[in-house]
Amino acid sequence: MKSFAIFILCLSFYYSLPAIASAITYKQQVDGEIIFVHSDKNQNQNQSQFIKEYSGKIILKNNKFYYQTTQIGHLTPLGPVICQSIYSKICTLSFGKKNHNYDHNYNESSNTIYSVALTLTPTLTNENINDNKSQNTKNADFTLEPYIFASPNQDEAGSCLFMALTGAMEIILNKEITQEQRIYEGMSDLSERYLMNASDLASASNNTNTNNDTNNDEKIYNWRTDTIYTYNYFSGALLNRDFRYTTGWYKEIDGELMVAKKGEEGATYGTYYNWINGITDELMKKKIPVPKVARELIFVDTNNDQWNTGVMTDATIKRIKERLTARNSPTLIIYNHYGYWHAVLIVGYDDEKVTEGCSFVFSWRKAMLKEADELIATNDPKKLERANRLKNYVNQVNKSIEQNGGCSTKGVFYVRDSIYTGPTNLMYDYDLSNQGEEAPYSTRIIERSYDWAKYLGNHAYVVYKK
């Protein structure tokens, strides 16, 4: 398998993503700023500029890259080295790719969102799983760092909720075993695909809101908050090595996914294949026991709107931190990610770490207004409806910022995500029968300001051992 690195070739950063050949190029503006652009490496067309999730500029000057006066890289004959090698202790650069979710409907576009996150003084590396806090989180108020596995990059599957909840159960398992036992592909590395397939069988009804029902912890009434109960319903889980989060050939006929063969008309190769239910009675004999779990609701949107914005407050952020610490367990949060709903795990926080405040929120706002204007220009009634929704979400954020005192300068959450990729030697093999689809695990932990959750979040709950 290939090791992952960002190198330049013909002024292009190349990196592997599941099932596709992707390239990141950079362009230098007249003021020296570096802008990252994504294009298909094979077709070299349909370029998309990465949305900046940082407020400053990366400047190239005299073959050196700077961010906020800090040198974060340099240009070599082979290409740029940014947040790598000697600069890996200075910064983290991660590239995000978000496709529409599995429950795709008119509320989400079909466009892929590309974004780039830059953090000075990086949080963690994928390989840094141990019983002690790393140098960069040792002053954190709380972190579950020693127990966190990086997630396979979900790629186009739209499976964020299942990646996050599988990670939550892995944390619970890792807390009960030794450091030496916490290994990828080991006895606590669980199958995301299992949760994706099995949750349908545990569903009690279709999106019925029973958030006040605290007695039934085995069936799913509200998928946003109850999917974790799949583990209780089946009294176990499957290991990733037995039921792999994978890539495969599939096609869709009349809205139904089915297995396809390479070269077959309409066949596509990718991680969307994981939605095809592959659970069998024979496979279920390989289940491992897992602790019975519960979830404590912190915030639930009153309209069950997983795209909603501007509904959380400082009190919500305070409660997230309190319950995270009290339960010593991760918090799942659903938020609006550039017009898509996205689920991630909050696994720690630091009240004193300096932050760029609303940089993510302002990047989100700019992207939402841009898309809304593009939709309005089409004069398509359905697209106009979506444009109005996007503008309404922006207006709600603007109102919330005004009511909640603007943006903070301190305070970050440590977040386990499944769509960001950065330089790492830790590779994930999606298809053991194939070569060439290997790709880096997602960046194990990224940083998000408290403002990110406060202004863009709409659901939050702690998952813990019962």
The model carries a pTM of: 0.89
**Structural tokens at position 375:** 């939709």
Q: pLDDT value at position 216? A: 67
Q: Which residues of 331-369 are buried (b: 16+ CB within 10 A; e: fewer)?
A: bbbbbbbbbbbbbbbbbbbbeebebbbbbbbbbbbebbe
Residue 108, φ and ψ in degrees, nearest 5: -125, 145
In total, the chain counts a number of residues equal to 466
What pLDDT digit, counting tens, does each position of 43-71 carry? 445 678 899 999 889 999 999 999 988 99
Q: Which two tokens stand for residue 354?
A: 């300096």
pLDDT of residue 123: 52
Output the pLDDT for position 199.
93
Which spans in 292-380 are helix H? Answer: 314-327, 359-376
Residues (pLDDT < 70) of the chain are 1-22, 40-46, 101-110, 122-139, 204-216
- Residue-level pLDDT at 293: 97
Where are the chain's structural domains? Answer: 7-465
Strands lying side by side in the sheet with 420-421: 51-52, 113-120, 91-98, 420-421
Contact 228, 463 (CB under 8 A): yes
pLDDT at 8: 30
Collect all residues with Cβ–Cβ distance below 8 Å to 75 and sequence separation of at least 6.
Answer: 60, 63, 64, 65, 81
State residue 427 phi and psi, 5-degree precision. Answer: -105, 150
Question: Does an H or E element contain 463, and which?
Answer: strand 457-465
Integer Rg of the chain from CA = 21
pLDDT at position 89: 86
CATH of 7-465, one of 3.40.718.10, 3.90.70.10, 3.40.50.150, 1.10.260.40: 3.90.70.10
Q: Cβ-count burial of 427 within 10 angstroms (0-12 exposed, 13-18 middle, 19+ buried)?
A: middle
Alpha helices in 36-190 (DSSP H): 160-174
